[in-house]
Amino acid sequence: MAEEPRELQKSILRAAREGFAVKGFYGTSMEFITRSAGVSKGAVYWYYPGKWEIYKAVLSEEAERIKRIVIPPGLHLTLADALDFFLIRGEGLIDILAEDRLCRLLFIHLQLEAMRGREEMAEFVASLHGSITEDVIPLLERIFPEDILSSRGITHKSFMNMFINILYGIILNIDLTITRDEAKQNWRFFIKNVIGGITGEA
């Protein structure tokens, strides 16, 4: 019996994920979610006060899934590990997201609504970014001593943002302007020149 509530909640989030990815937040109704999940409105409201809470749950789950792929729990790296780590993790993420169109669409819709001036969306983007920063910055600080980056005129935070923006741009363009193989080639070129330049492995 303990499994039933969890499975019900998963069904709600799966249905909402598809709706939000394909139609966006504003195009997805509670009726669509309940109908697609095969549950009553009462069941949905038992777990979530409203659509906004469902949306945040879906996107937060996606962000956490991506973080676990890139930074698995208990990860310990040194500067000597950096090149292989970034190459392998980046290519793995490209593979996963190339096959997961819904995940890519979720984040595209979120960014678009934030750009359109939807305050709650902009705040949510900032909170997701803050969560990523909280996990990634300590890792970068362990891998790259501060003087290595400061001598190049950048901070750990700007270094992280550069990586996120490059990878995000590559992933968004898969099957639009580049193939998956070309995306990986772009990522390898970027990592080998940036990380390889820092570690002396370029």
Contacts of 88 (CB under 8 A, 6+ apart): none
Residue 67 to residue 72: CA distance in whole angstroms = 7
pLDDT tier at 99 (50, 70, 90 boundaries)?
Answer: very high
Residue 28 to residue 41: CA distance in whole angstroms = 14
pLDDT, average across residues 106-129: 93
| Nearest Cα residue to 157 out of 181, 130, 186 | 130
2 pLDDT more than 60: no
Give pLDDT tens digits for 75-93: 888 888 889 999 999 999 9
4 pLDDT more than 80: no
